[in-house]
Amino acid sequence: MVKPLDGLLVLDFSTLLPGPMATLILAEAGAEVVKIERPDGGDAMRGYTPRWRTDSVNFALLNRGKRSVALDLKDTESRRRLDPLLARADILVEQFRPGVMARLGLGYDVVSKINPRLIYCSITGYGQTGPLADRAGHDLNYMAETGLLALSMGSPAAPVLPPVLAADIAGGAYPAVLNILLALRERDRTGRGMALDIAMTDNLFPFAYWALGNGLAAGQWPENSAELVTGGSPRYRLYPTRDGRMVAAAPLEQAFWERFCDLIDLDAALSDDTKNPTLSSTTAPSGIQ
């Protein structure tokens, strides 16, 4: 079966999660992905647990369907071996701090002269320019910078760590794929590639759209567990059950809320949350069956 990206070549210089997940999506859409790795151990993800026999399960999940080439990018001869790949590549994905690829002789200005049709995608925490561009960071740092941790369940003194790497995936991998596809469409029109600057922190702000809206409208920024979908309403909560489990209940609309209250035999005085929309104590007294 022909896939949408059949015939496209992707050079993947990235490691760990954001870039490899982006190129995995491209590979599953039919692109040929060649992963460029260090000779001294390659992608650090190769050493991660859990393991299946001798391999890292995480590495295998993120890099299946790709080819791998070990090259010392600081070695002139190894660097020359890249030229034929660069000349015919459609997409390049890298995840170094700003300036590293340029110091290796692989910056966009250099590579685009070899291949003007190349789409050059750079994924970083804070973007290629600006006062934070050179700062190191990980997923948790980016989520803290955008204020998302301050909105999570828990108290202001003890916000809850998210169970997923949202910045790496939703702020890095997914926007990278989206913008690569847009750049391919633009290349169809103009015949030229372009450089893409994917800043994971910037890409997290859409997740706080409702908090930004509330803050601008009310003049006060939301706090932990204070809003409709962060634990501030009984209509969007986790409730303990009689058998020691938890049930996720999200009866936001009035009809669903009334049905929910009826099912758990909630007292009528508590079920009318329109007068006090933050009835955090709204639970079935004996637990939900």
Q: How far is CA 173 from CA 16, 22, 64, 199, 261, in A?
A: 11, 5, 16, 10, 40
**Residue 33: beta bridge partners?**
10
Residue with tokens 């997290």: 204
**Residue 238: beta bridge partners?**
248
DSSP class of 161:
P
For residue 166, the SS3 value is helix
Collect all residues with Cβ–Cβ distance below 8 Å to 36 and sequence separation of at least 6.
11, 12, 13, 69, 71, 73, 82
The torsion region of residue 219 among left (phi > 0), alpha (psi -120 to 50) and beta comes to: left
Provide long-range contacts, Cβ within 8 A and 24+ apart, for 249-255. 252/228
Residue 31: phi and psi, rounded to 5, are: -70, 150
Residue 274, classified by CB atoms within 10 Å of its CB into exposed (0-12), middle (13-18) or buried (19+), is: exposed
Catalytic pick among 43, 138, 265, 267: 138
Catalytic pick among 12, 43, 139, 168: 168
**Residue 11: beta bridge partners?**
34, 92
Enumerate the H helices of 40-149 as residue ranges: 57-63, 76-81, 83-88, 100-103, 108-114, 139-145
Integer Cα distance of 123 and 200 in angstroms = 7
213 sits in which H/E element? helix 209-218
Q: How many CB atoms lie within 10 A of CB 206?
A: 12
Known catalytic residue at 138? yes
**Which residues are annotated as catalytic?**
138, 168
